[in-house]
Amino acid sequence: MNDPESLLEPEVAGDEPEIDRQLRPQRLLDFVGQEQVKDQLAILIQAARLRSEPVEHLLLCGPPGLGKTTLANIVATEMGVSLRVTSGPAVEHQGALASMLTGLAERDILFIDEVHRLQRAVEESLYPAMEEFAFDFVSGKGAGAQTLRLALQSFTVIGATTREGMLSAPLRDRFGATFRLDFYRADQLLAIVSRSARLLAVSAEVSALELIAARSRGTPRIANRLLRRVRDYALVRGSGTVTRTATEEALALLEVDHLGLQESDRRLLQLICSHYQGGPVGLGTLGAALAEEPHTIEEVVEPYLIQLGLLQRTPRGRTVTLGAYRHLGLEPPGHLLSGSGDAGLFPKDS
């Protein structure tokens, strides 16, 4: 599951490929999906502009690839201000945070990806900055040390997290609005890949784009990556046009099945089915068996499997459903056949 070319591989904030940045919508009107989030953001932005104030601090939650970074960029664009991008692990000490905050102009936005991974000392320094636009620091050492306060320009913090439950209560409470992004429908993904195809000047059949949308795991980032890989396949082994036939061949080569599952997903399900009789099995055990970090399994792989009803999280560990056995073509154990283990409805190809 450590394949560096995996379609599921999350990107570090500010370090995504240039082509991904080119495909990002710049305005709320161009952003597809997440209608409720868009409506609320539009009101917040318009109100802030009318009052000539910064937007309230915002928290964006949801699995990777659903548009958290894109929305942060859109808020900055709509407000006409600059966006400073960082991530929780990158802010290693209070001095690094102070440097970022003092560099912000009036109403600028600081976007912190993986905000749940901030160091405790850094997080505590962020509290007065978010509440009072001031940064407290200690000058000197020993008996002569004194606490000084540095005034900051009024600014906005936009935090993004894939694990809202790991945020401390004090930090969560300092965000004025929290939005959760959900997986996208196939028709929304079709609109996204159609737009991306136009921007990339890719000639594509509608049926081919529908197939890409259906196998994109409800995630725009994966949809755009699949489009680029199918485009390359059509150029090298086809006529250059993304046809449905070329798309089917490319997805077969990428080992993306009709549910959008990759080999890494099937390995996880196969492991639980074959070695642990369907579970329950602990996340740490799965990580060790697959040579993968447990948090990567939990944040990147599991959400879509749970949405499909192939996997369940229980207090005792992970278990698979009857649908997982059927998808893998395995004989299910008796306890699933006698119960109601088929928890999900599978999406179909267009």
Residues 103, 16, 212, 239, Cα dihedral to 10° = 130
What is the C-alpha separation between 271 and 274, in angstroms, rounded? 5
Which is catalytic among the residues 113, 161, 217, 319?
A: 113
Active-site residue, 221 included: yes
Which is catalytic among the residues 24, 174, 215, 221?
A: 221
β partners of residue 319? 312
Q: Which residue is associated with the tokens 């050492």? A: 141
Which is catalytic among the residues 69, 70, 243, 247?
A: 69
| Percent helix / strand / coil, the chain, rounded to 5 | 50, 15, 35
Omega before residue 280 within 30° of 0, cis: yes
Which is catalytic among the residues 24, 68, 225, 318?
A: 68
| C-beta of residue 177 within 8 angstroms of C-beta of residue 40 | yes
Active-site residue, 113 included: yes
Q: For the beta carbon of residue 120, count every other beta carbon within 10 angstroms.
A: 8
Active-site residue, 69 included: yes
Which is catalytic among the residues 86, 161, 162, 219?
A: 162
Give the residue numbers marked as catalytic. 68-69, 113, 162, 221
